[in-house]
Amino acid sequence: MSDLSLGDDAVAVNSLRSGVMRLSRRLKHQRVDESLSPTEMSVLGTLARCGSATPGELARKEHVQPPSMTRIVALLEAKGLVRLEPHPDDRRQKVVTRTERAESMLEESRRKRNAWLAELCEGLTDEEWATLRAAAPVLEKLAET
């Protein structure tokens, strides 16, 4: 990509950032369980995408300090959304696994957010919708880096 400090690329990057941030904030308001913080929901989402993990692995994936993740995991465990199991190779560690209750809640949350987003997309032209469909894998790629 060319130098982003000048020209159309900088404008496009700014527009992309702004649009993604605003859409993300609006999607976060489409929550099923208002008692969970966005961070708690994010941890459950990471467990759904990546599978069980140690608190240290979750802290790295979520970009938080390990003591913060320990508190988040304790809150999720108290709510019955995760369970701690012995690590198969290291008895000093635990593995965090989401519960069936968390899986159900995440599925309901995905349905609600997808329905909200689908309703928004109904206002797009066929060309805009085709562009957005084509951009979805690229946005996923950016989110994973």
CATH label of the domain that carries residue 99: 1.10.10.10
97 φ, ψ (degrees, to nearest 5): -130, 140
Cα-based distances in Å from 37 to 34, 43, 58, 87, 128: 7, 10, 16, 27, 33
Does residue 120 fall inside a structural domain?
A: yes
Average pLDDT over residues 6-10: 77
Residue among 23, 40, 22 nearest 96 (CA): 40
The predicted structure's pLDDT at residue 29: 80
Residue 15 pLDDT > 60: yes
Does residue 4 fall inside a structural domain?
A: no
For residues 47 and 11, give the distance between their C-alpha atoms in angstroms, rounded to a whole number: 35
Residue 37 pLDDT > 60: yes
Query: 80 is written with which tokens?
Result: 């019955």
Q: What is the domain extent for residue 99?
A: 9-144
Q: Provide the domain count of the chain.
A: 1
The predicted structure's pLDDT at residue 89: 87
3-state secondary structure of 80: coil
Question: 44 and 98 in contact (C-beta within 8 Å)?
Answer: yes
Does residue 2 fall inside a structural domain?
A: no
Name the helix (H) or strand (E) containing 134: helix 126-144
The predicted structure's pLDDT at residue 64: 94
Return the beta strands (E) in the chain as ranges: 82-86, 94-98
Confidence of residue 67 (pLDDT cuts 50, 70, 90): very high
Does residue 3 fall inside a structural domain?
A: no
Does residue 14 fall inside a structural domain?
A: yes
The predicted structure's pLDDT at residue 132: 94
Does residue 31 fall inside a structural domain?
A: yes
The predicted structure's pLDDT at residue 32: 75
Does residue 79 fall inside a structural domain?
A: yes
Does residue 1 fall inside a structural domain?
A: no
For residues 145 and 140, give the distance between their C-alpha atoms in angstroms, rounded to a whole number: 9
Q: Any bridge partners for residue 98, and if so which?
A: 82
pTM for the full predicted model: 0.75
